[in-house]
Amino acid sequence: MPHFQAQDTRSCISHYMNRNATMIILSLFHLFSLGISVSDAFLVGPLQRPVQISRRPTEALKLMRRQREKAPSVPVASMTTDTEEISPSAMAVAFDSINRCRYACTRFRRHAEPKKEPAQITAIAKEGKNKAIAEPTASESDKIVIRQVLHCLNIARRAPSGFNSQPYRLLMVSSVQAKEALAKCCHGRNADRVRDSDCTVLFLADREWGRDWTRFGKFLDARNEGNPIDKWMKRKIQMLVLLFSSGYPLPRFLSAPISFLVRSIIGFMGAITRRRLLVPTLSSAETWSTKNTMLVAMSYMLAATSRGLATCPMEGVWVPGIKRALGIPRRYAIPLIVSTGTPYHTPTTDLDEADDVGMAHGSGSDKATPRYPLADVVFADVFGSEAILPS
């Protein structure tokens, strides 16, 4: 920027700038300091408050939309299209805020106590006052939260999966009876979180994808309705999914050794050809389906956080008991369950409560749990080589 004398600057401003132009320049200066693009700057308007990271992940998006509604008419070239509702800079701010605000909630607020039937009240009265503490019961679920959770699950289905095979099922447990049955199969305070939260989502990984062979074929046909997929191309995709998933439609005592044999043969082929024949490294059926399912789980937790819901991923559960209680087929593994609801402590209380093993999980963006240094986990080009920002 060229340098002018103070007197020249004042004269230029007095002759060529009015008050509104000065306000626009100041506004653009604040926006460029935040790294917002030129096209977004014209959409914000003069002297708006800059978008900052907040406790509420959605505040950045709401503020940008509010600013657009108040913005004056601008040339068509600087306006976003109908398909681009949120600018890239706003999405980056919102996504960073959501990641900072996400934490594992150790305690949920109960929405309402379950209504007891008259027969139950009579039975409790007959027990007398000598009984010290009644057994814990699951709480009623907030219908508003349940609707939000269903929307988050619908968004989470957009998570990627190998060949778009989607080897998972999502089971939402929200009724009092189902929550109580699930809580009895959870260890420690995990049971309290299941009882107190509005719902718990079970992420089921399909270890026998081959049983969905016909269903996946129909899915491929429906996806290419205007341009039908070739029969042999469809069979090729199905065979590739079956190869990578190791999910043969057989009982476990047969599919496990077959999967091991196929993986061993493919690995041996790569070894004897001295890597001239490049073959993929295959995983077991449970490993393959689990890594696809975890992408959905993370997408769900971020979607819930963006709507102000607290989540707690848990793995301290008795899987055979859960399958028996909720009628889950044996073909599914349960790598993770996520309780969702309203946190017992609001972020303003600045309380970071530890769980039953003495570990704190944070309470939002202002009190996030620590992580290993960046240099210890992120490398560049070669393992162990420090990642340095380009100059």
The pLDDT of residue 251 is: 86
335-380 pLDDT, tens digit per residue, is 999 999 999 875 544 455 665 555 555 555 556 788 899 999 999 9
Q: Alpha helix (H) ranges present in 78-175?
A: 88-101, 118-126, 143-156
How far apart CA 388 and CA 329 sit, in angstroms, is: 49
User: Does the residue 66 lie in any domain?
Assistant: yes
C-alpha 218/C-alpha 268 separation (Å) is 35
Is residue 42 a part of any domain in this protein?
yes
In a domain, 83, yes or no: yes
**Does 14 score more than 60 pLDDT?**
no
Query: In sequence order, which residues have a C-beta less than 8 Å from that of residue 69 and are 6 or more positions away?
Result: none
Considering the domain boundaries, does residue 53 fall inside one? yes
Most confidently predicted of 28-42, 56-70, 117-131, 240-254: 240-254
Task: Report the pLDDT averaged over residues 6-22.
Answer: 46
Q: Alpha-carbon distance 200 to 183, whole Å?
A: 10
pLDDT value, residue 97: 87
Question: What is the number of domains present in the chain?
Answer: 1
Residues 6+ apart with CB under 8 A from 236: none
| Residue 247 near residue 206, CB atoms below 8 Å | yes
Three-class HEC string of 200-222: EEEEEEECCHHHHHHHHHHHHHH
Question: From CA 110, how far away is CA 113, in angstroms rounded?
Answer: 7
pLDDT-based confidence at residue 29 (cuts at 50, 70, 90): very low
pLDDT at 30 over 80: no
Confidence category of residue 78, pLDDT binned at 50, 70, 90: very low
- Does residue 327 lie within any of the structural domains? no
Residue 156 confidence class, pLDDT cut points 50, 70, 90 = very high
> What's the domain range around 49?
6-101
107-125 confidence digits (pLDDT tens): 999 998 887 655 554 554 5
**Residue 34 domain flag:** yes
Q: Is residue 47 part of a domain?
A: yes
pLDDT 10s digits, 276-313: 778 888 999 999 999 999 999 999 999 999 999 999 99
Residue 27: the pLDDT is 44
Supply 366's token pair: 């202002």
Identify the pLDDT of residue 192: 94
pLDDT of 17 strictly over 90: no
Does residue 187 form part of some domain? no
pLDDT score at 357: 58
Residue whose pair of structure tokens reads 């929550």 in the numeric block: 179
- What percent of the chain shows pLDDT beyond 90? 48
What is the largest distance, in Å, between two alpha-carbon atoms of the chain?
Answer: 94
